[in-house]
Structure 1
Amino acid sequence: MMIDWTSFTPWTSLAGGALIGLATAMFLLFNGRIAGISGILGGLLQWPKGDIGWRVAFLLGLVAAPAAYGLFAPLPAVQVDAGTATLVVAGLLVGIGTRYGAGCTSGHGVCGLSRRSPRSLVATAAFMAAGFVTVFIVRHLIG
């Protein structure tokens, strides 16, 4: 395995992780809600009264943040080495997994682990293990 040292950005990554941690802690503190994206998006599908505004604002912020960043610095190039069918199947599998796991990486991995939730520990271990196995199979056994 080789590390691409020109793309290795530990300080930027540390700052980004700290901002994510701070944002999720503030979201929980001020709103009493977990910043799990699948739960926030899933809640919009049910149209609960009085619960739509913050969900829409949160999701719009996820889209607007990279656009705002792009005003001040060039956005990194996006390269997806997969076909449309692979992406559709992967997206469906992730969606099904978040429903069965009652949450996603942001809900369990960031918020749940910081709250010392045993359920989040098991969920995070499961989806990390699934990711490791998938990468091993795709890179070493198939391709």
Structure 2
Amino acid sequence: MMIDWASFTPWASLAGGALIGLAAAMFVLFNGRIAGISGILGGLLQWPKGDVAWRVAFLLGLISAPVFYGLYAPLPQVQVDAGTATLVAAGLLVGIGTRYGAGCTSGHGVCGLSRLSPRSLVATACFMAAGFATVFIVRHLIG
């Protein structure tokens, strides 16, 4: 395994992680809600009364933040080394996993672990193990 030291950015990564943690903490303190993206988006599909505006605002913020950032600084180059069928299959599997696991990486991995939730610990361990196994199989066994 080679580490790309030119792309190693510990301070920017630490700052980004701190901002995500601060935003998740503020969200639960001010709204009493967990900042789990799959739950926020899934809740929009049911159209609950009085529960739509904050969900739409949250999702618009997720979309608009990189757009506004791109107006002032260059966005990183995105390179996806997978075909359309692979991306569709991966998206479906992630969606199914978030429904079975009752949450996603942001809900369980960020918010749930910070609240010391046993369910989130198990869910995070499961999706991390599945990710490790998938990368190992695809990169080392299938090749």
2:65 is the alignment partner of 1:93:
no
Structure 1 unaligned blocks of 5 or more: none
C-alpha separation between the residues in 2 aligned to 1:8 and 1:73?
19
Cα RMSD of the aligned pairs, angstroms, is 0.4
Matched AA of 1:22: L
Per-residue deviation, 1:75? 0.2
Instruction: For residue 6 of structure 1, report the CA deviation from its aligned partner.
Output: 1.0
Q: Deviations over 1:74-109 (max 9, x none)?
A: 000000000000000000000000000000000000
Aligned to 1:36: 36
CA distance in 2, matches of 1:43, 1:21: 22
Partner of 2:83: 83
What's the TM-score, normalizing by structure 1? 0.99
Separation in structure 2 between the aligned mates of residue 29 and residue 45 of structure 1, nearest angstrom: 25
**What is the total number of aligned residue pairs between the two structures?**
143
The equivalent of 2:125 in structure 1 is: 125
- The residue aligned with 2:115 is 115
State the TM-score, normalizing by the size of structure 2. Answer: 0.99
Deviations 1:45-82 (A, max 9, x none): 00000000000000010100111111111000000000
> Is residue 2:5 matched to residue 1:9?
no
What amino acid is aligned across from residue 7 of structure 2 in structure 1? S
What CA deviation, in whole Å up to 9, does each residue of 1:13-60 have, x standing for no partner?
000000000000000000000000000000000000000000000001
Identity percentage of aligned residues: 89
3-state SS in 2 of match to 1:50: coil
Q: Give structure 2 stretches of 5+ with no counterpart.
A: none
Aligned-partner SS, 2:33: coil
Determine helix, strand or coil for the equivalent of 1:6.
helix
**Is 1:64 equivalent to 2:64 in the alignment?**
yes
Q: Which amino acid aligns with 1:120?
A: S
CA distance in structure 2 between the partners assigned to 1:73 and 1:7 by the alignment = 17
Amino acid at match of 1:101: G
